[in-house]
Structure 1
Amino acid sequence: MRNTTWIAGLAILLGGCVNLAPDYARPAAPVPSAWSHHASQGTTQDAADALDWRSFIMDARLREVIALALANNRDLRVAVLSIEKARARYRIQDASRYPSLGVAAGSNIARTPADRASGSAATISRNQNVQLGFSSYELDFFGRLKNLSTAAQASYQFNVEMQRSVQISLVAEVAGAWLTLAADNERLLLARDTLKSQQISYDLSQRSHAIGSTSGLDLSTAQASVEAAQVDLGEFTSRVQQDLNALNLLAGTAVPAHLLPDSVPQASAELLATPAELSSDLLLQRPDVLAAEQSLIAANADIGAARAAFFPSITLTAGGGAASSSLAGLFKPGSGAWSFLPSINIPIFNAGRNRASLDAAKVSKEIEIANYEKAIQVAFREVADALAERATLSQRLGAQQRLADASARSYRLSEARYRSGIDSYLNSLVAERSWYGARQSLISLRLLEQNNRINLYKVMGGGWSSS
């Protein structure tokens, strides 16, 4: 037993003497060092992950809907299970670096028939044995097993980062779907009110036309406006139902009616502060960028494993225990037995298979470098787009609100002139349509502003550092 333990310890000490993987170095980010833009006021974070989504989302109803999605969304569930699967695979691969000890017990009874030629009688032989040992343990002189373990660990970390990315994206998608439903509900209400107003005007035009005070042109124009409002009402009714279907799919369950919005809130989420110059190094903390780097780390380790295939491999089989012809004498003095069977495999010729494997590993690393750089470039572009949109939103919202107010005054004046008989119904209708369009645009712009808040949170991987 002592011999076996000593051999196992020596094997562990000898394993992993050389690592043939290239020294890992994170590639330089192929983007400018910072974004320069107009600073905005809002919530500032002390760390990239300091602002939890529960603190970021301000509307209580939306927080409950997001909580439903995080508990029930199937994509997120798959991402979480993928982590468990990758963790198990890493444990399996890492276990191959160590001897697998086991106890084996056996009993052998054999009868040898009599030999008439020699005159020997039939005999029965018995052998009992108990042995502790390990078999086919590879001494990791050149780091093959260690690099395979490193690659498996990187695969596990990749899944961890992807789960974070899926969760952040899910929070943003649910918030976006909820806000879209809010905007379409608001548009539906506006279309319903407009149809009611148009119907009243059309009824009045019919009565006026019956007594000859309104022309057929005004009557036809009023009817056309009613039909146009009916079309909008049908469109937004359909869109609201589709929005609800999309929200239920993201939530993974039916969202209770009391959590559904009827209009776009003034502030569904915090507005993150953006300093005038924001370092692009913050991108390196985005989960999808971190996941891409883990794939690169795994590819780097695979090169080391491929290089190790060019060198001899040594495997050991060893055991120690007791053996006896009788069960009673199995553990008596003198019954000890041990075995030690080293073997070496020296690659001589394999038709270039090892060279091809190494070439493939090197190409895979170059591919992962390109993927990593592309992930950073995409992230930079997404942040730049969100900041560019944020820079003009306040100005656009103010201008659109003033346009809606001016359109409302224009409509009221045109309607009064029409009621007084000073102006035609056509001018009143044009003014009302302008007011209607201005309000629809205002709803869209308010939705865009709220979605921009959500998008800033998403593209910065859940926020950014203020330092």
Structure 2
Amino acid sequence: MRPSSLLPGFTLIALSVLPGGCTMIPHYQRPDAPVSTTWPAAGKTPAQNAENTALMQDWRGFYRDPVMQALIAMALQNNRDLRIAQQQTQAASAQFDIENAALFPTLNGTAGANVQKMNSRIWSLSQGNAPIYMRQYAVGFGVSAYEVDLWGRIRSASRASFDRYMASALNQQAMRLSIISSVATALLNWIANNQAVMVTQNVLENRHHAYDLVKQTAAVGTGTQLDVAEAETALHDAEANLQIYTRQRAEALDQLTLLVGTPLPDATIHAMNARPSLASVTPFPDVPEGLPSDMIARRPDIAASESALRAANDDIGAARAEFFPKIQITAANGTASNNITRLFQSGMGAWNVAPQITLPLFDAGRLTAQLHQAHARKSEEVARYEHTVQTAFREVADALAGRETFNGQNIAREASVTASQRQYTLALQRFRAGYDPYLATLVAQRTLYSSELAAITTRLEAMSNSVTLYKALGGGWGKSIPARKSPLADHLL
């Protein structure tokens, strides 16, 4: 270092931290959505009343059942997949901070000493053999290899990191929405299987009575052994079905416990058992008429895909900037002396500055290949974004079509159960009166059992379709899309 006043050193270090002047990021334009501007005709929904079309500002406005709300709240607090997504978002945020820090110089405080023993004969510094000691002490602060971002390479990398952080945060929201929907679906599955267990238990009890009755009629000669065999077969079929639905109910409970992320409290299990059928679940609100197709842009997975596309667009700017010279500055300011006792005395000030310019001359096409790679990745993200939009459009259209048809299907299933119940009652009366063989009663009973199970399945599908529609619409239809925040690099352009 060259002795001087401290002012020039301060000036040089201050100049070294000035931001650059431009970036080479291409102008971003959101790709046109490759979907229709309206929903298919099958997705139209009738007008609903004002209460049911209330804006869904929070998931509790849609999932109104108290048991379902309690389970979802526990899942949002304890679900491990959501925790993983949260930590991934934190890591992406930290990575953005790392990239953003490169916009500014790193200022380090330094203190050092250098002592050398010199051979006096080699250097002819003295006539004797006594060694000569060279000492140097220095204290100061400085900037090491700070890159002046004239072409926006660091800014482009910072913006790309910010957009990837935004994508991670939006993926976390998508995970949250998925967990909410999964918990609701798992609860509905548990209630449906529990209802199927109770229906099957009732059928099994009836078949036990029928089996005993058929054996009695066969013993007195008014029945046949064929009737006994048919009744026994039906009895064992019901026993097998009971085991199936019991197993499915246990699996649904295991799935629900996994989603919630903690063992279910006894009070919650008791409240679940108080839901004997899907009809006892608080209904979901209806979807209003005339939803625009572009509202799916609020979906977090679509917004995350667009953020990934923005990041790929930013990478092109960084790849372009690599073709231009890099200017790096190393600067230091402090005091220096060959005697530590005089290190802080007047006149010991010293500073140095070492700018360096690096210009790529030959790299065997590496930089060109990196630029081509950046363009290819952007095209890939464009295709991925368009595919995400198309998938979202199909999910909403399918759910709207399901909403329109499941209502009629439920009505038809309930009517079928009523008719089957009447058929079974009449067949049983005719059998007991001796007009018909047991086979007619067995057929009617099987028809009733199948109708009851089909009604449960249809109602489950209808309610699950409502959950799917809520998720497909991005978690409601009344929330406004939040404005995208700008990274710090945008303010330094």
Select between 4-13 and 230-239 the one with higher mean Cα deviation.
Answer: 4-13
Shift of 1:259: 4.7
Aligned to 1:234: 243
Structure 1: distance between partners of 2:307 and 2:10: 37
Structure 1: distance between partners of 2:119 and 2:74: 77
Asked if structure 2 preserves the Cα contact closer than 8 Å seen for 1:148 and 1:301, the reply is yes
Aligned to 1:315: 328
Select between 33-42 and 201-210 the one with higher mean Cα deviation.
Answer: 33-42
Q: 5 Å matches for 1:34-183?
A: 34-35=38-39, 36=41, 37-41=44-48, 43-46=52-55, 50-115=56-121, 118-119=126-127, 121-183=130-192
Amino acid at match of 1:38: T
SS at structure 2 position matched to 1:395? helix
> For the aligned residues, what is the CA RMSD?
1.8
1:137–1:466 CA distance, 2 compared to 1 (3 A): closer
Select between 67-76 and 249-258 the one with higher mean Cα deviation.
Answer: 249-258
Select between 199-208 and 122-131 the one with higher mean Cα deviation.
Answer: 122-131
Asked if structure 2 preserves the Cα contact closer than 8 Å seen for 1:102 and 1:132, the reply is yes
Structure 2: distance between partners of 1:342 and 1:288: 46
Asked if structure 2 preserves the Cα contact closer than 8 Å seen for 1:154 and 1:295, the reply is yes
> Is there any run of 5+ residues in structure 1 with no aligned partner, and where?
none
Structure 2: distance between partners of 1:6 and 1:369: 46
Match 1:363 to one of 376, 379, 384: 376
Structure 2: distance between partners of 1:39 and 1:266: 25
Confirm whether residue 271 of structure 1 aligns to residue 280 of structure 2.
no
Structure 2: distance between partners of 1:207 and 1:381: 59
1:342–1:466 CA distance, 2 compared to 1 (3 A): closer
Structure 2: distance between partners of 1:387 and 1:38: 7
Structure 2: distance between partners of 1:451 and 1:351: 58
Shift of 1:278: 1.8
Confirm whether residue 191 of structure 1 aligns to residue 194 of structure 2.
no
SS at structure 1 position matched to 2:303? helix
Amino acid at match of 1:31: V
Aligned to 1:3: 8
Structure 2: distance between partners of 1:298 and 1:466: 26
Select between 34-43 and 90-99 the one with higher mean Cα deviation.
Answer: 34-43
Asked if structure 2 preserves the Cα contact closer than 8 Å seen for 1:269 and 1:454, the reply is no
Aligned to 2:33: 29
Write out per-residue CA displacement over residues 103-124 of structure 1, whole angstroms, 9 at most, x where no aligned residue: 1011223333443965155333
Structure 2: distance between partners of 1:241 and 1:194: 20
Match 1:205 to one of 214, 234, 244: 214
Structure 2: distance between partners of 1:103 and 1:44: 64
1:424–1:4 CA distance, 2 compared to 1 (3 A): farther
1:264–1:316 CA distance, 2 compared to 1 (3 A): same
Structure 2: distance between partners of 1:40 and 1:168: 26
Shift of 1:28: 0.8
Asked if structure 1 preserves the Cα contact closer than 8 Å seen for 2:59 and 2:476, the reply is no
Shift of 1:40: 4.8
Select between 236-245 and 72-81 the one with higher mean Cα deviation.
Answer: 236-245
Write out per-residue CA displacement over residues 403-441 of structure 1, whole angstroms, 9 at most, x where no aligned residue: 111111111111111111122221111111111111111
Shift of 1:38: 2.4
Shift of 1:336: 0.6
1:11–1:60 CA distance, 2 compared to 1 (3 A): same
Structure 2: distance between partners of 1:23 and 1:302: 12
Confirm whether residue 412 of structure 1 aligns to residue 425 of structure 2.
yes
Shift of 1:327: 2.7
Structure 2: distance between partners of 1:413 and 1:462: 49
Amino acid at match of 1:174: V
Structure 2: distance between partners of 1:239 and 1:154: 43
SS at structure 2 position matched to 1:115? helix
Write out per-residue CA displacement over residues 301-329 of structure 1, whole angstroms, 9 at most, x where no aligned residue: 00001011111111000011111222332
Structure 1: distance between partners of 2:322 and 2:223: 95
Asked if structure 1 preserves the Cα contact closer than 8 Å seen for 2:57 and 2:478, the reply is no
Asked if structure 2 preserves the Cα contact closer than 8 Å seen for 1:29 and 1:373, the reply is yes
Aligned to 1:352: 365
Asked if structure 2 preserves the Cα contact closer than 8 Å seen for 1:22 and 1:300, the reply is yes
Amino acid at match of 2:61: S
Structure 2: distance between partners of 1:38 and 1:62: 26
Asked if structure 2 preserves the Cα contact closer than 8 Å seen for 1:183 and 1:447, the reply is yes
Amino acid at match of 1:215: T
Q: How many residues align?
A: 462
Structure 1: distance between partners of 2:350 and 2:286: 72
Asked if structure 1 preserves the Cα contact closer than 8 Å seen for 2:395 and 2:472, the reply is yes
Aligned to 2:456: 443
Q: Percent identical across equivalent pairs?
A: 37
Asked if structure 2 preserves the Cα contact closer than 8 Å seen for 1:282 and 1:460, the reply is yes
Aligned to 2:270: 258
Write out per-residue CA displacement over residues 207-231 of structure 1, whole angstroms, 9 at most, x where no aligned residue: 1111111122222221121121112
Shift of 1:235: 1.2
Confirm whether residue 296 of structure 1 aligns to residue 304 of structure 2.
no
> Is there any run of 5+ residues in structure 2 with no aligned partner, and where?
1-5, 481-493
Aligned to 1:462: 475
Asked if structure 2 preserves the Cα contact closer than 8 Å seen for 1:17 and 1:142, the reply is yes
Write out per-residue CA displacement over residues 1-54 of structure 1, whole angstroms, 9 at most, x where no aligned residue: 4434332332333x33121110011111111112251235363354xxx53223
Amino acid at match of 1:52: D
SS at structure 1 position matched to 2:291? strand
SS at structure 2 position matched to 1:278? coil
Amino acid at match of 1:32: S
Amino acid at match of 1:273: V
Confirm whether residue 335 of structure 1 aligns to residue 348 of structure 2.
yes
1:21–1:237 CA distance, 2 compared to 1 (3 A): same
SS at structure 2 position matched to 1:34? coil
Aligned to 1:425: 438
Length-normalised TM-score, structure 2: 0.90
